[in-house]
Chains A and B, each alone.
Chain A
Amino acid sequence: MLRASVIERLAIATASTALALLIGVTIVAAAGYDPVQFITSMLQGALGGQSAVARTLRFSTLFILTGVAVAVAFRAGVFNIGVQGQFVVGGFMTIMSIVWTAPLLPEGAVGGVGLILIGFVAGAGSGGLYGALPGALKAYADANVIITTIMLNFIATGVVGWLVQNPFRGEGNAAPNTERIPEYVSFPSILFDSSGFSIVGLAIALAVVAVIYVVMERSRFGYDMVTSGHQESAATYSGVDAKRTVVSTMTLSGMVAGIAGAVFAIMIQGYYTDPSGIGTYGFDAIAVSLLAANNPLGIIPAGLLFGGLESAGSHIGIYTDVPVQLIDGVIGLVILFVAVPELFRMAAVRTGLGGEKR
């Protein structure tokens, strides 16, 4: 991507965020709440103090990881709407693999690191498989990826929900939760002393961004993938197997979603619960990725922005009397303003109804 268009994109994102907030605040004022207090609370919630920053970074970590998962697929022209499902399956398998293998490893730091590694392998592997499934359905049965991935989201939520309630409910748990993973299986608290956030989680997210960036820009696989996304006929001409590329793209995307699930499970939860109540990171990630024009490096600022908004929203919900629905509405406006135009542009280019001329 050209440097000029990066600056342009940042300017557009900033301007549309500001405009969306302005309209949002107007609505807040019209509804009879104090707009100045609303703005201050937002800033307070996103950046005011160490715990607010930790909360922002916690959300950002997840948005960056899930955002990259979406970006990988979108760049290859595969509309993976199933990141949420892959995220859930990955997270659940992370917890279960740690719970199952914990008795086999020594307790303490060594065992902890080992179990974290096992958890990540299980998370990435299961997320990857869960992504490969709709990829294979697309490649070999011509099933629409958008539809199959959306349906697989429901299946993931439903099945994992049932599993945590029935066969895998932890002993003596009243709530539908799995057993907890051992205390020593956690990321160390460096810089931030906050439950639910460790700088290690963010570092993992940034490392994944770096790896994906190198894969997309420097590897043959990435070139094949991105070329397929740009112009499938040219990719086929150059010897790319379109079917295999769809499957491997979806696998890679699902693996990243699975890693996001693993970070969520280990860093935030420590156990797994009914996935219908864990948040919609996999869906919000679509907006994150679109805002970043599906560029892995762009995902970092986009993820930080969304993390800040999410964090501000949860703060306002607790400390002001502005109704939660109104806050969600304002965040929705921001998404609408910054991400949706990009979505339409992509759809227009893809369907040939407008946008850039081929």
Chain B
Amino acid sequence: MEGITKRFGDVVANDDVDFSVEKGSIHALLGENGSGKTTLMSVLYGLYEKNAGTVSIDGEPREFESPRDAMDAGVGMIHQHFQLVETMTVLQNIVLGREPTEMGLVDTSTARSDIEEICSRYDFHVDQYLDTKVQDLDLGARQRVEIVKSLYRGADILILDEPTAVLTPQEIEDLLDLMEELADAGHSLVFITHKLGEALDAADEVTVLRDGRAIGTVDAAGTTEAELARMMVGREVQFDRPPRDPPEGDFVLNAEGLHVRGSRGLERVTDVDLGVREGEILGIAGVQGNGQTELVEALTGLRDVDSGTVRLNGEDITEANRRHRIDAGIAYIPEDRTTEGLVQDYTLVRNALLGNQTVEPFADGGMIDWSVVNDHAEAIIREYDVQPPDEGAKAKSLSGGNQQKFIVGREIEHDPDVMIASHPTRGVDIGSIEFIHDRLLELRDAGMGILVVSSKLDEIQKLADRIAVMYEGEFMDTVDPETTTEEELGLLMAGHDAGSGHGGGAGDDAPDGGSGRE
């Protein structure tokens, strides 16, 4: 694939990406969520039409208008969410769309022998349950069915989109073995993932994507997790860290022994302690998907905790709902501005009320005073430089940076005690990034306690007074940004303990970064 560019409206999902896979090898495509991995592969698989670039297979340029074209050219894709009909049997699922027929009827015995032939070549164990309904299989088996389905359709190139996300550790091991077997037999595999370890274990080569661009391709044997982590999170903008005094205020937000489950019921946050002081920014660094989302949701009242306590100004608010926490003074800049932070179909006026429904003077006795809300929206737009300055514009008509500035303004105007900002500048233009950073630093100087979650190292290093690094649901360490290098942070983010034990406690002084094992 050369020079692939794919735009969705104004958003560039893939920007001039070059990507090539050698025959008979496993190639990992590594990047954070939203970095453009799946989009790139969907272009290869014919799901999306590219805006520019060429796709060549075996050196021959090809144009795919649909997945069927791609399949005919030997490209198969196994999606993150399996594309199986649960009420049909394994055999029916495998032949679906490519049924061998005899006089218009499905020729089951030919299908069966074809599938058994494929299965006999590899260690699939799928042929044992050809007549079982898919709904009765576990997820690992379903995935193998998907792979057999692609092979049955003659796939030489197999794309696996985050194949390990739903699997148990044992199933992951089996899958990686199977992938190796397939590669040895001459198939080419693309393995989409955001997990560093797996990419290194499974792949021969690794290509890292960030913000839709290919950052580089490296040999798996010649790289380290720390290097990959750095490539993933990047540091395009160099921020200067403003000088500051160490904060000595009281703790405003504390969490002790937090355990939180994710949406799939798995534990995503394990025994996390944290404390945010007045006039301090605590940064939480880490590769995305290591429990930061669940931690923030537990702190803001959007997700129940399994065990542990959350305190605001010393008061136990573990059981308090979201509304109560807003009223108690926790402001929250959410991770996803399009689904959470703004109602896309609402005007900015209506959005200015979001989260303020119980706050006077906007609402009094259950009735909303829209003229006050209107003034409030105008004030946010003016003071936070939201473009275009039109309070009647719908949220979805604004660019990402302006949407974010509006949210930041609205949350700051709550006059909270604690600000929790999750990826406050993701997908935001550089000018707005500076603006948002300046506002957060001003708030810090004014004595607010701020928690910033970000996977951008430069952002964390610029803003934070202390940095806690999160890996697989745990705090690896809490470090001082003044004395910690990016390499050390990279190692921590990749799960290498820096030597001083985990659990950056509420009262811990920032320990030294220490050195990694490699």
Contacts and interface: CB of A to CB of B under 8 A. Distances in A.
A224 B342 CA distance: 14
A250 to B, nearest CB: 19
A220 B354 contact: no
Interface in B328-365: 332, 334, 336, 338-346, 350, 353-358, 363
B340 A218 contact: no
Interface in A198-253: 218-221, 223-224, 227, 230-231, 233-234, 236-241
Interface in A254-308: none
A358 interface: yes
Please report whether the interface of chain A is mostly helix, strand, loop or mixed according to DSSP. helix
A233 B368 contact: no
Contact of A239 (B346, B355, B367): B355
B366 interface: yes
B343 A231 contact: yes
Given A220-B367, A227-B343, A238 B321 contact: no
Chain B interface extent, by class: 20 to 34
A356 interface: yes
A191 to B, nearest CB: 34
Interface in A309-325: none
B322 interface: yes
B368 A238 contact: no
Contacts of A231: 339, 343-345
A241 B346 CA distance: 20
Contact of B354 (A219, A221, A234, A241): A234
B302 interface: yes
B326 interface: yes
Contacts of B343: 227, 230-231, 234
Contacts of B340: 233-234, 236-237
Contacts of A221: 366
A220 B322 contact: no
Nearest to A224: B357
B355 A219 contact: no
A223 B356 CA distance: 11
Given A239-B322, A239-B326, A220 B363 contact: yes
Nearest to B370: A218
Contact of A220 (B334, B342, B368): B368
A238 B345 contact: no
B323 interface: yes
B341 A237 contact: yes
A125 to B, nearest CB: 21
Contacts of B355: 237-239
A223 B345 CA distance: 13
Nearest to B325: A239
B183 to A, nearest CB: 36
Nearest to B355: A238
Given A223-B353, A231-B343, A239-B322, A218 B338 contact: no
A237 B332 contact: yes
Contacts of B396: 357-358
A248 to B, nearest CB: 12
A223 B350 CA distance: 9
A139 to B, nearest CB: 14
Given A219-B367, A221-B366, A358-B344, A241 B357 contact: no
Interface string B128-147: 00000000000000000000
Max count, chain B CB within 10 A of own CB: residue among A231, A236, A237, A240? A237
A220 B356 CA distance: 10
B338 A358 contact: yes
Contacts of B344: 231, 358
B298 to A, nearest CB: 14
B368 A356 contact: no
Contact of A219 (B302, B339, B356, B368): B368
Interface in A77-112: none
A219 B350 CA distance: 12
Interface string B299-343: 000100000000000000000011101100000101010111111
Interface string B461-474: 00000000000000
Contact of A238 (B338, B354, B367): B354
Interface in A323-358: 356-358
Nearest to B334: A237
B354 A218 contact: no
Interface string B392-408: 00001000000000000
Nearest to A233: B339
A230 B321 contact: no
Nearest to B345: A230
A231 B336 CA distance: 13
A218 B364 CA distance: 11
Given A231-B344, A239-B355, 9 more contacts: A234-B340, A236-B322, A236-B340, A237-B334, A237-B340, A239-B326, A239-B358, A240-B357, A358-B396
8 cross-chain pairs, A with B, having the tightest CB-CB distances, nearest first: A239-B323, A237-B340, A238-B355, A238-B354, A233-B339, A239-B322, A231-B343, A234-B343
30 contacts: A218-B367, A219-B367, A220-B368, A223-B350, A223-B353, A223-B357, A223-B368, A230-B345, A231-B339, A233-B340, A234-B340, A234-B343, A236-B302, A236-B322, A236-B340, A237-B340, A237-B341, A237-B354, A237-B355, A238-B326, A238-B354, A239-B321, A239-B325, A239-B326, A239-B355, A239-B357, A356-B345, A358-B339, A358-B344, A358-B396
Interface of B: 302, 321-323, 325-326, 332, 334, 336, 338-346, 350, 353-358, 363, 366-368, 370, 396
